[in-house]
Amino acid sequence: MTGHDPYAPESGDASYGVESYDLTLDYRVRTNRLEGTAILSAVVAAEAVSSIAIDLVGLRASRVRVDGDRRTAFSQGPRTLRVKLPRRFSAGERFSVEIVYAGAPAPRRSRWGSIGWEELDDGALVASQPTGAPTWFPCNDRPDDRGRMRIALTADAGYLPVATGRPLSLTRTGGRVTAVSETSVPVATYLAAAHVGRYETRTLAGDPRVRVVSPPSLRERVDRAFADVPDMLALFEDAFGPYPQEDCTLVVTPDELEIPLEAQGMAVFGVNHLVAAEQRLIAHELSHQWFGNSVGIGRWRDIWLNEGFACYSEWMWFERSGRASIAQKAAKHHARLRALPQDLVLSDPGPDLMFDDRVYKRGALTLYALRCAIGETDFAHLLARWTAEYRHRIATPTDFRALAADIGGDAVIPLLAAWLDGPTLPPLPDPATARR
């Protein structure tokens, strides 16, 4: 069946899941031409199928083969590639689909704005959340369908291609440069990313795990902006457990971006984010490697599990760096939310409001209220168990409520219901009465 997620009913096919993607991509910067071959290794879900839908937007497929069959029939519409299987495949049966495709990649228009592959002044980037992945590779574009990835990305000489995954090789041949990367952890399609620019790559002073990709001209500004990244990672590892990804790459474009963007093991920032006032955004994107990229959501309505935790992580960094306590940040944002319309339900904000700042801040306030109710020790235990038990797995709000009740007792059930299930903003807990 198609239309897996009611927030994005035109995306994804729940009749199968993709276990891995193997992408071979060639991008010409000057002409904005992308040529690709994608191999999807997939498995049939609960019911037998004779055809499947694959998301692909703005690019044309020229050849499709299922398990190497040269006679594979397919048709393509503006959003979907419909592939006829050579026979009826049974539930649990594995198969592969090879797709050769090309075109001029561009963002797709959506209710959330233009998303997907985006040309820069001199290069390109990907901003896929939530449904932009099909603008650069054919995929089963569902948040709950995660697969391993191998990406070979080729670009013109003078440019550095960077894609999601642990870097394996970088070769230069015949005026072209190819970067190959790979993941062994599952990746949601919206968290796959590709970047092409006149970049250099180097390790970050203070933490050799962190790879920085940026224009050479921005080196000093980048170093200043990312100076606290090792301390941020140390804080989050202490609270959330070991860094969960195989790669940690921070990309900085010479262009200004509206917001930074997280991807699996990666985050991209615009040149406008290299200022002290935007440092909270660095902490926010780093924390997504635990919340969203490791502990993942299967439905877009649950996005507060990503953004609420990431926003709360910002407050943790503010407190650790001595600029404001978590209680002060909670009071500030509670006052702001109290002055706004009380029409958002955090557990189901609706597709139009799922990126509303109230989701981010109310999600963080929910965690703060829970911490006040169960005490700092039990709350720290909850964070550690949440990230450990759902490491590289899909989690739901029901899972979170159950874990909170297991640690904090049944009294947290109505507390979480008040914060998550009703539109009215609950009162801010008094930190003086909070459990220690």
Q: Which of 286, 309, 326 represents a domain boundary (last residue)? A: 286
In this prediction the pTM is 0.96
Residue 140: give its domain's CATH number. 2.60.40.1730
pLDDT more than 70, % of the chain = 99
254 and 326 belong to one structural domain: no
Q: Which of 175, 193, 211 represents a domain boundary (last residue)? A: 193
For residue 221, with 0-12 CB atoms within 10 Å meaning exposed, 13-18 middle and 19 or more buried, which class applies? middle
Instruction: Give the pLDDT confidence of 33-65 residue by residue, as tens digits.
Output: 999 999 999 999 999 999 999 999 999 999 999
Are 183 and 164 spatial neighbours (Cβ–Cβ below 8 Å)? yes
Predicted local distance difference test score (pLDDT) of residue 285: 98
400 and 314 belong to one structural domain: yes
308 and 412 belong to one structural domain: yes
Residue 272: give its domain's CATH number. 3.30.2010.30
Instruction: Tell me the average pLDDT across 401-426.
Output: 97
33 and 79 belong to one structural domain: yes
Query: Domain range for residue 118?
Result: 1-193
Instruction: Give the pLDDT confidence of 313-338 residue by residue, as tens digits.
Output: 999 999 999 999 999 999 999 999 99
272 and 224 belong to one structural domain: yes
The residue among 291, 348, 347, 343 whose CA lies nearest residue 316 is 291
423 and 323 belong to one structural domain: yes
240 and 365 belong to one structural domain: no
45 and 24 belong to one structural domain: yes
Instruction: Give the pLDDT confidence of 122-177 residue by residue, as tens digits.
Output: 999 999 999 999 999 999 999 999 999 999 999 999 999 999 999 999 999 999 99
Provide the number of structural domains found in the chain.
3
Predicted local distance difference test score (pLDDT) of residue 434: 67
Predicted local distance difference test score (pLDDT) of residue 2: 43
Q: Which of 269, 286, 303 represents a domain boundary (last residue)? A: 286
For residue 374, with 0-12 CB atoms within 10 Å meaning exposed, 13-18 middle and 19 or more buried, which class applies? buried
Predicted local distance difference test score (pLDDT) of residue 436: 66
Instruction: Give the pLDDT confidence of 241-286 residue by residue, as tens digits.
Output: 999 999 999 999 999 999 999 999 999 999 999 998 888 999 999 9
131 and 224 belong to one structural domain: no
147 and 6 belong to one structural domain: yes
Instruction: Give the pLDDT confidence of 194-227 residue by residue, as tens digits.
Output: 999 999 999 999 999 999 999 999 999 999 999 9
Instruction: Tell me the average pLDDT across 11-20.
Output: 97
389, two tokens: 């038990």
97 and 223 belong to one structural domain: no
* pLDDT at residue 359 is higher than 80: yes
Residue position matching structure tokens 């984010």: 273
- Give the number of C-alpha atoms closer than 13 A to the C-alpha of residue 371, restricted to the C-beta side: 21
Predicted local distance difference test score (pLDDT) of residue 435: 72
Residue 394: give its domain's CATH number. 1.10.390.10
Indicate the SS3 state at residue 37.
strand
The residue among 125, 89, 84 whose CA lies nearest residue 16 is 89
Predicted local distance difference test score (pLDDT) of residue 1: 39
